[in-house]
Amino acid sequence: MTEQSPIIHRKIIHIDMDAFYASVEQRDFPEYRGKPLVVGGLPEGRGGVVATASYEARKFGVRSAMSSKKALQLCPHALFVRPRFNVYREVSQHIREIFSRYTDLIEPLSLDEAYLDVTNDKKGIGSAIDIAKLIKQAIKDELQLTASAGVSINKFVAKIASDINKPDGLKFIGPSSIENFMEQLPVEKFFGVGKVTAQKMKQMGLHTGADLKKLEESELTRHFGKVGRFYYQIVRGIDNREVQPHRETKSLGAEDTFAYDLTTLEEMEAELDKIAVTVHNRLLKYELKGRTITLKVKYHDFKQITRNQSFPTPINDLETISNTAKQLMAVTGVDDVRVRLLGISLSNFGEITIKQRDDKELGPGDQLELEL
C-alpha cells in the first residue's frame, strides 16, 4: 500500500474595510465621530443614493444603495456628506501596499475589499491567521482605520467569514468546519441570491444551506439556472475559483424588481433615473468608464429583452446614462405593457478589456452587479 499525500488547501484571506468611506470621513473630521454619518448623495431635491453609512447610522437601518431620502426618514438626525473619491483611492492604494508585503496574489473587488492568496506568503510566516492579524494591525497603525478579515480555504467562505464579527473582526473557518458552517448559512447569504431569489427559495421551503443540500444538482439548475451548480458545490465547501490579480471586469450594472408592475412611461423613467444614480455611483467607486449602455426589461410574464447603445468614447456621467436608458426604453414600445424589472449596465470598458483579454474566464461573482 502506498501512503496518500496530504491534501494541500489554499490559504485565502478576505479583507473588508469597516464602513470605509464613512470611517475615512470620521477619521479626518472629528466633528463626525460618534455620530450617524451618511456618505453619498444629499437628500435634498431629487435625492441621491447612500454609498456608505457609519455604524451609528446603520443602527437605524440605513444601508448602502438606499435612497438618501429614505435614509433621512429612518435617521432624521443623520449627517450627510458627499464622497471624496480621490481621498478614498489614496487610502486604498496604501492598503494594497500593505497587502503586497505578504503576497502578490491580490484580487481587489473594490476600493475597500480584496481577496489575498497567502498559501506561499513572501515572509514565510505560514499562518494565514497570523498574516490577517498583521495586516489588520498595520491598517490600524498606519491609517487609523479598522478592517475585518475572513480566513478559509476558498474565496466564498473567506468572504462570508469576514462579515461575521464586524467591525474590526477576524474569523477563521477551517476545512473541517466548512460543511457544517454552510449547512447553517441562510440562503440569502449565498452568492447570486438577491431578495427575489431568496423569496423564491423560501417559498420552496429552502431556508438554509442544509435545505439546499437536499436537492440534486439537476434540481437546482432546473430551478435557478447555471448558478444552481454553484449552489450545489459551495454548500459542500467546494469553491475552486482562484484569486485573480488581474481580474477583468466585463460589465457593471444595477437592476430593480418592483413591488407592482409599471404601466406608464413616466413610471418607468422615474425608476430608470434612480437606477442610473446607483450605476453612476458604482462607476465612480470602481473608477470605470464604459462605451456601451444596456437596458434590461423584464415584463410581467417574465419575457425579457435588452437594448443597447454604444458611444465612440467611454462615458460615466449620470446625465448620459439616465437619458440613454430612457431613450432605449421609449423605443421598446411601452403601450399596453406591464414591466416588473428594469436594469441598466455599462460594458465595453475599452483599454481595460484589451489589456486583460488573455486572462482566464470569469468565475461566479466576477461580474459587478448590484441587486436592489
Residue 199's Cβ-count burial label (10 Å; 0-12, 13-18, 19+) is: middle
Is residue 67 within 8 Å of 49, Cβ to Cβ? yes
Name the residue with cell 473582526: 169
The amino acid at 251:
S
Catalytic residue at 188?
Answer: no
The amino acid at 224:
F
> What are the φ/ψ torsions at residue 315 (nearest 5 degrees)?
-130, 160
Crossing angle of helices 227-234 and 217-224, in 10° steps, is 140
**DSSP 8-state assignment for residue 127:** -
Written in H, E and C, the secondary structure of 1-49 is CCCCCCCCCCCEEEEEECCHHHHHHHHHCHHHCCCCEEEECCCCCCCCE
Which of 113, 255, 269, 271 is an active site residue?
Answer: 113
- Angstrom CA distances, 353 to 84, 106, 349, stand at 27, 19, 6
Sheet with 304-315, strands from edge to edge, namely 304-315, 290-299, 339-347, 251-262, 368-371
Is residue 213 within 8 Å of 183, Cβ to Cβ? yes
Crossing angle of helices 318-330 and 265-286, in 10° steps, is 140
d(CA 56, CA 330): 42
Could you tell me the three cell numbers for 111? Answer: 476600493
Strands 12-17, 113-117: pairing is antiparallel
| List of E strands, the chain | 12-17, 37-40, 50-53, 79-81, 106-110, 113-117, 147-152, 170-172, 251-262, 290-299, 304-315, 339-347, 368-371
Active site residues: 113
